[in-house]
């Protein structure tokens, strides 16, 4: 599959490094202004400069999200911020507010602009208007079907690029414009602080029976009636490409580096013509809600059970720091012990398994288990591993 971009999220430098190593063509990150995620997922100016350097040294691109809807007091600082992003070498800014678009075009006209999915662009007339305003790429509204995307592509200039989400969490509101968290907790999802109340479990009450709760049960004694599925399009990349999408986007700037590495590795292998059954299996190992192909094939299936529970098929246990001479040095991230079978996740190939026969501390002390987070350990490893790989343990579970 040629002429498509795999666009990957990074909420910190560890995730950025993993995204680049495991096959991202481009990475999107947040900065200090309007980045629509919690502050912990935003890069400082120094961090953005380093992120640009790392991406460009790897021959990849780096985009910065500036996609929250701006308030009055937030417009003035944007001119200087736009110039900073341009001078730092950022390849594009992802925006949604028309005031932000106008401010960026005046302050830094050379900086490429991509329209965020937050703008809910889902028709060719709107796409044309945004393109005339200076937008190079539209990140399509998640509510569009494949035929609708194809029609939009046919009725817009070829110079307008189209980007679509292919994997990750979906919001129960149109293009993420939900106020439920603001109402229940005072934390606005539109300002990067969503408490995700759509994933909570709810009960029914009757106005004349205060304090009496009636359970609303979908399956196995549990329900999450507002919870969305997670998106997974591993089987329909050709469809999206043929409809005119040239950038495939994975959601997850709040996810771990291990999540990013696993997701991008699966989609990288699929794009490059790898075994789709292996790619599907890899995505099932990630922690996720029930998967769906969203609205790409029309309206979501009616009466499709969604318990809201998270399933995962593997647990991330360690980062590989060094490898050689039959041993690997790792940083422990979750508990594991002697006798367990672990897998090495490396870029572009199936995972390789080995049994843990010995665990050694930095001083050479033998251990039966590794219960201490971030402890540096050495393990015999008969399979090929490299620094930057991840170790995981298969473990089917619901959370």
- Which of the 8 DSSP states describes residue 222? B
Confidence bin at 224 (pLDDT 50/70/90): low
Instruction: Say what percent of the chain tops pLDDT 70.
Output: 93
Residue 303 included in any domain:
no
Residue 299 included in any domain:
no
CATH of the domain at 369: 2.40.30.10
**CA separation for the pair 30, 11 (Å, rounded):** 7
The larger pLDDT score, comparing residue 302 to residue 278, is at 278
Three-class secondary structure assignment of 232-292: ECCCCHHHHHHHCCCEEEECCCCCCHHHHHHHHHHHHHHHCCCCHHHHHHHHHHCCECCEE
Do 281 and 383 belong together in one domain? no
Q: Which residue has the tokens 């889902």?
A: 122
Residue 223 included in any domain:
no
69: its two tokens: 């809807």
Do 62 and 189 belong together in one domain? no
> Is the Cα torsion angle 230, 236, 239, 241 positive or negative in sign?
positive
pLDDT at 315: 96
pLDDT at 220: 60
Assign residue 140 a region (left: φ > 0; alpha: ψ between -120 and 50; beta: otherwise).
beta
pLDDT at 226: 75
Do 243 and 340 belong together in one domain? no
50: its two tokens: 């380093």
Tell which of 264, 292, 320 closes a domain: 292
Residue 221 included in any domain:
no
Residue 251 included in any domain:
yes
- Which of the 8 DSSP states describes residue 334? S
- Which of the 8 DSSP states describes residue 282? H
CATH of the domain at 153: 3.20.20.70
For range 96-107, the mean pLDDT: 97
Q: Give phi and psi for 281, each to the nearest 5.
A: -60, -40
Confidence bin at 209 (pLDDT 50/70/90): confident
Tell which of 249, 265, 292 closes a domain: 292
Instruction: Find residue 64's DSSP bridge partners.
Output: 29, 93
Quick one: which H or E segment has residue 64?
strand 61-66
Strand order in the sheet with 311-324: 352-355, 341-345, 390-398, 311-324, 327-332, 376-380, 359-361, 366-367
Assign residue 3 a region (left: φ > 0; alpha: ψ between -120 and 50; beta: otherwise).
left
pLDDT digits (tens, 9 = 90+) for 18-68: 999 999 999 999 999 998 776 677 899 999 999 999 999 999 999 999 999
User: How would you classify the pairing of strands 311-324 and 230-232?
Assistant: unpaired
pLDDT at 281: 96
Measure Cα distances from 65 to 23, 29, 55, 181, 347 in Å: 21, 6, 16, 22, 27
Burial code (b: 16+ CB inside 10 Å, e: under 16) for 164-185 equals: bbbbbbbbbeebbebebbbeee
pLDDT at 310: 80
Q: Give phi and psi for 196, each to the nearest 5.
A: 55, 50
Do 380 and 339 belong together in one domain? yes
Quick one: which H or E segment has residue 22?
none
Residue 117 included in any domain:
yes
Confidence bin at 305 (pLDDT 50/70/90): low
pLDDT at 302: 53
pLDDT at 175: 65
Are the CB atoms for 202 and 180 separated by under 8 Å? no
For range 298-309, the mean pLDDT: 64
| pTM exceeding 0.85 | yes
Do 17 and 76 belong together in one domain? yes
Tell which of 259, 292, 325 closes a domain: 292
**CA separation for the pair 138, 149 (Å, rounded):** 11
Q: At what angle do helices 98-107 and 72-88 cross, to 10 degrees?
A: 40
For range 201-223, the mean pLDDT: 75
The larger pLDDT score, comparing residue 184 to residue 176, is at 184
Do 189 and 332 belong together in one domain? no
**CA separation for the pair 235, 304 (Å, rounded):** 19
**CA separation for the pair 299, 102 (Å, rounded):** 35
Residue 300 included in any domain:
no
pLDDT at 14: 96
266: its two tokens: 């699966």
pLDDT at 106: 98
Do 246 and 109 belong together in one domain? yes
Do 81 and 21 belong together in one domain? yes
Q: How many CB atoms lie within 10 A of CB 326?
A: 9
Range of the domain at 12: 5-170+228-292
Give how many domains the chain has, as a whole number.
3
Do 85 and 28 belong together in one domain? yes
Do 122 and 244 belong together in one domain? yes
Are the CB atoms for 395 and 315 separated by under 8 Å? yes
pLDDT digits (tens, 9 = 90+) for 238-294: 999 999 999 999 999 889 999 999 999 999 999 999 999 999 999 999 999 889 899
For range 283-312, the mean pLDDT: 80
Q: Which residue has the tokens 């540096």?
A: 376
User: How would you classify the pairing of strands 376-380 and 113-115?
Assistant: unpaired
Which of these ranges, 102-106, 326-330, 395-399, has the smallest mean pLDDT?
395-399
pLDDT digits (tens, 9 = 90+) for 108-140: 999 999 999 999 999 999 999 999 999 999 999
Residue 18 included in any domain:
yes
Do 238 and 116 belong together in one domain? yes
Do 13 and 53 belong together in one domain? yes
Examine the pLDDT at 180 and tell me if it is beyond 90: no
**CA separation for the pair 184, 46 (Å, rounded):** 36
């Amino acid at each position: 599959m040629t002429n498509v971009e795999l666009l990957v999220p990074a909420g910190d430098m560890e995730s950025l490094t993993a995204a680049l190593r495991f096959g991202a063509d481009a990475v999107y990150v947040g900065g200090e202004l309007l980045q629509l995620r919690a502050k912990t997922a935003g890069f400082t100016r120094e961090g953005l400069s380093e992120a640009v350097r790392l991406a460009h040294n790897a021959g990849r691109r780096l985009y910065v999200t500036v996609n929250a809807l701006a308030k009055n007091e937030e417009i003035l600082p944007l001119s200087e911020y736009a110039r900073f992003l341009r001078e730092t070498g950022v390849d594009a800014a992802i925006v949604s507010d028309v005031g932000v678009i106008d401010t960026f075009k005046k302050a830094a006209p050379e900086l490429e602009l991509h329209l965020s999915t937050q703008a809910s662009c889902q028709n060719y007339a709107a796409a044309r208007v945004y393109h005339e305003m200076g937008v190079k790429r539209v990140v399509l509204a998640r509510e569009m079907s494949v035929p609708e995307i194809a029609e939009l592509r046919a009725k817009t200039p070829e110079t307008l690029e189209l980007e679509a989400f292919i994997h990750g969490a979906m919001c129960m509101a149109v293009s993420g414009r939900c106020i439920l968290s603001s109402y229940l907790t005072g934390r606005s999802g539109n300002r990067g602080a969503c408490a995700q109340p759509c994933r909570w479990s709810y009960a029914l009450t009757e106005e004349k029976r205060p304090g009496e709760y009636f359970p609303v049960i979908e399956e196995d004694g549990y329900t999450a009636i507002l919870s969305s599925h997670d998106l997974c399009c591993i089987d329909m990349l050709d469809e999206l490409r043929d409809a005119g999408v040239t950038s495939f986007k994975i959601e997850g700037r709040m996810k771990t580096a291990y999540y990013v590495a696993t997701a991008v590795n699966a989609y990288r292998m699929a794009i490059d013509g790898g075994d789709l059954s292996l790619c599907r299996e890899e995505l099932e190992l990630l922690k996720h809600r029930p998967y769906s192909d969203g609205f790409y094939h029309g309206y979501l299936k009616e009466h499709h059970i969604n318990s809201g529970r998270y399933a995962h098929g593997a647990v991330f246990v360690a980062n590989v720091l060094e490898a050689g001479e039959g041993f690997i040095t790792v940083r422990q991230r979750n508990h594991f012990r002697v006798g367990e079978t672990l897998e090495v996740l490396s870029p572009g190939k199936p995972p390789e398994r080995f049994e843990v026969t010995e665990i050694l501390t930095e001083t050479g002390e033998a251990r039966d288990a590794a219960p201490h987070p971030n402890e540096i350990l050495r393990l015999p490893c008969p399979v090929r591993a490299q620094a930057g790989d991840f170790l995981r343990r298969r473990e089917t579970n619901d959370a």
